[in-house]
Amino acid sequence: MIPQNLPQSPKEAPTTLPGFRLWPGLLDAGAQAALLAEVRQGLETAPLYRPVTPGGRPFSVRMSNFGALGWVSDRAGYRYQPTHPVTGAPWPAIPDRLLKLWDALTGWPAPPDACLVNLYQGEAKMGLHQDRDERDLTAPVLSISLGDTAVFRIGRAGGGATRTVRLASGDVCALTGPARLARHGIDRLLSGSSRLLPSGGRVNLTLRVAG
Ligand code: MD6
Ligand code: FE
């Protein structure tokens, strides 16, 4: 699933966001389908559910997790925890092909211990946020997109202008170094842009070192 010859350096997003790394089309159709099958298998153990914000508003995205720790949100706040909030069961393991992808792309000395699974359907979106619930905020976050193309919005941590980048099925991106705390979100999906998910929609996987 990992191409033999990785690009020497990923495409650095043009204009002013050092540390935001993008590998367009890194996963070919076969690799996307194989990964999606493993995700579906994990979701049999850890079903998607709809979290609520600390303010009590339901997310438009449904979520689950793989790994020792999973990111959750509820009335008590945002945190990582070892069990599924609905079933109480431990999260399933992170698929090996994702661990290998992490090693190949990030070179980070520790493996990820959390993989957040986001499912977008219909009008689902995600507001601008920073990923800052992890213990070590210098470890990268690696993101894999499957299914319909998303309009991803990103800007520097400190505020100011944002810009959009389209994330298509098989694209991989990372927030590293100076972009680790970039503000980012998903404006919307381009529905019908991929046939990977038979009923449409998008799965996003984010690998993190959380604990
Ligand atoms: C998404 N992604 O693509 C949402 N976070 O659906 C994220 O929130 C994200 O793409 C950290 C690093 C990369 C990401
Ligand atoms: Fe994020």
pLDDT score of 8 = 46
Mean pLDDT score of the chain: 94
> What is the rounded CA–CA span in Å between residue 171 and residue 211?
26
Is pLDDT above 90 for 105? yes
Cα(82) to centroid(ligand 1), Å:
21
Classify residue 170 by burial, with Cβ atoms within 10 Å: 0-12, 13-18, 19+: buried
89 phi and psi, to 5 degrees? -85, 155
Nearest residue (CA) to ligand 1, atom 3: 204
Cα(4) to centroid(ligand 1), Å:
26
pLDDT in tens, 16-64: 699 999 999 999 999 999 999 999 999 999 999 999 999 999 999 999 9
Residue to mutate (ligand 1; options 117, 154, 189, 206; most atoms within 8 A of CB)? 206
Point out which residues pair with 162 in neighbouring strands: 155
188-209: b or e for each residue (b if 16 or more CB lie within 10 Å)?
A: ebeeebbebbeebbbbbbbbbb
CB 18 within 8 A of CB 179: yes
Tokens encoding 156: 């520097």
CB 80 within 8 A of CB 133: yes
Tokens encoding 94: 């992170």
Measured from the Cα of 120, ligand 1's closest atom is 6
- pLDDT above 90 covers a percentage of the chain that reads 92
pLDDT score of 48 = 98
